[in-house]
Amino acid sequence: DGSFGWTKYNSLAEIYAWLDEILAAYPSVTESFEVGQSYEGRTIRGIKISYKSNNPGVLIESNIHAREWITSATATWLINEFLTSTDELVRDLAENHDWYIVPVLNVDGLVYTHEKDRMWRKTRQPSDISSCIGVDPNRNYDSHWMENEGASSDPCAEDYGGPKPFSEPEILAMSEFVISIKDKVNVLLAFHSYSQLLLSPYGHTKEEFPPNFDDMMEVAKAYGDAVESLPYGTVYRYGSAAGILYPASGATIDWAYNEQGVQISYTIEFRDTGRYGFILPPVHIIPNAEEALIGIAALLEKCKDLGYLALKSTF
């Protein structure tokens, strides 16, 4: 209806108009950036929040899957908290990290879920070999692409990996953006829903685990414990993506971890555990976002203890 808020889910136009207001209101600590253009020609936008130089970097990728509306609702709520909260924990979190937040990566898909099909997941680029539309953007990164049945080669499938890695302009653009800032990024968080899970690499195989798997599990436990400590806190389970969910190759976090050296790379699957699934009622937005905030604070504290927030390079 044109007005932005967290008592409802917002359209892309509402999110972008709100982002402009935020950028105008906090010019000294925010910066607008563009990841690139979508297939249908929309701009994929992001916001950098930085209170001081030489902070460790945290990159948040959100709404890569179109129907996962709770992700952009949570990402925008976090942006607002980082800029407006007077709570000490939030101030520490906001001011001692550099935040790169992309609230909506799959812009065409989000518009499609608002206007045509609430359950749409993929991109909106047509196929050369089928009348089915779209690719699973979280199977389109160039890392173990299509391996071990972690993606489908059927253009009609919900987990279609695409005709080739980076076939989707949104994902090619995101990969180039990640590469451009990777020396400044210590932690990548990819927001998804639903199931209440923290998923580490690897996605392409459950036969092997990453070298720092034990550290990543400690980090996930910190998130889960913090969320559970809230009065209304829910339960998060954790493990490797392929180990506790299903093989998924070519996902953002695996590409960032395997190919770009982002040592802490997590998929966070938000509320709920299936009662409402993707159609999560808006009353969950703020509780879910509060869980994400306290969880991310604990996750980053643990990352710091384990030595993952050291600067990768100085500029």
**Per the residue annotation, which of 14, 170, 269, 291 is the catalytic one?**
269
| Residues touching ligand 0X9, count (CB under 6 A) | 14
Q: Residues 188 to 247: which contact Zn ion by CB under 5 A?
A: 192
Q: Residues 204 to 243: which contact ligand 0X9 by CB under 6 A?
A: 241
In the residue annotation, 21 being an active-site residue is answered as no
Q: Residues 114 to 133: which contact ligand 0X9 by CB under 6 A?
A: none
Q: Which does 70 bind (CB under 5 to 8 A by kind): ligand 0X9, Zn ion, none?
A: none
Among 251, 264, 280, 293, binds ligand 0X9 (CB under 6 A): 251
The one-letter code for the residue type at 216 is M
Query: Is 65 a residue that touches Zn ion (CB under 5 A)?
Result: yes
Nearer to ligand 0X9, 111 or 253 (CB): 253
* Closest approach of ligand 0X9 to the CB of residue 249, in Å: 7
Which are the catalytic amino acids?
269
What residues make contact with Zn ion under the rule CB under 5 A? 65, 68, 192
What residues make contact with ligand 0X9 under the rule CB under 6 A? 65, 68, 138, 192, 199, 203, 241, 245, 248, 251, 253-254, 267, 269
